[in-house]
Amino acid sequence: MRSTFVALSILAGQAFAGVFMTNPTASTTAVGGTAFTINWQDDNKTPTLASIGPVEVGIFVGNVIQQTEVFQINASVDVSKVSSLSFTIPTTIGPNSNNYFVRMTSLALPSPEDAKFKYQSFSSKFQLCSHEHYYFPHLHHRCPNIYWRLQLNLQRCLQHHQRCHRYQG
Ligand SMILES: *[C@@H]1O[C@H](CO)[C@@H](O)[C@H](O)[C@H]1NC(C)=O
């Protein structure tokens, strides 16, 4: 894990934009072990996607003061050349919470607000359910008590966003 300290003004100062992430949103639930796609578009405000260029993309937890990368998705992807990134959510990413977000950091472009930092773009915070056990149904036969307890946790997490129907069955 890597912690990064950023100036409060950078997260608060979303008046400037550039990369606008259309997924994940605040109603997104990501599930460990399943495919996930980040999508973005140019919001036609400066800076342009071409000037932002290659970015480092990761899943983070944290707040406006301190952010910790829990999973690096891509070390260098040019936001002006592609508009989505697909990957598998790791099952080991961390506890279930709705405090995860995607952060993009330009490898080259300085922040318009503070040239000490690089340009950054943030997604909404989204829910992540990290359920290794869900993918090991054989546990049910070996130790049914543990399996059902884990299943219950999964359903509670998913029901939080009324998405459980997608993953049960
Ligand atoms: C990062 O994204 C680029 C562009 O989509 C892709 O070619 C590359 O394979 C990706 N790298 C990783 C580690 O996923």
Q: Residue 34: its pLDDT value, please?
A: 85
- Can you tell me which atom of ligand 1 is nearest the CA of 85? 5
Q: For 5-61, what is each residue's pLDDT tens digit?
A: 444 334 444 445 789 999 999 999 898 888 999 999 998 888 999 999 999 999 999
Closest CA relative to residue 74, chosen from 63, 86, 60 = 86
161 token code pair: 């966003």
Model-wide pTM > 0.85 = no
Q: For 148-162, what is each residue's pLDDT tens digit?
A: 555 666 666 655 543
| 3-state secondary structure labels for all residues of 100-163 | EEEEEEEEEEECCCCCCCEEEEECCCEEEECCHHHHCCCHHHHCHHHHHHHHHHHHHHHHCCCC
31 CA to middle of ligand 1, Å? 21
For ligand 1, atom 13, the nearest C-alpha belongs to: 74
Q: Is 74 in the pocket of ligand 1 (CB under 6 A)?
A: yes
- Give CATH 2.60.40.10 domain extents, the chain: 2-130
CATH of domain 2-130: 2.60.40.10
Averaged pLDDT for residues 129-155: 55
d(CA 167, CA 98): 18
Assess whether pLDDT exceeds 50 at residue 91. yes
Q: For 54-80, what is each residue's pLDDT tens digit?
A: 999 999 998 878 899 999 999 999 999
- Residue 103 burial class via C-beta count within 10 angstroms: exposed 0-12, middle 13-18, buried 19 and up: buried
Element (H, E) at 67: strand 66-78
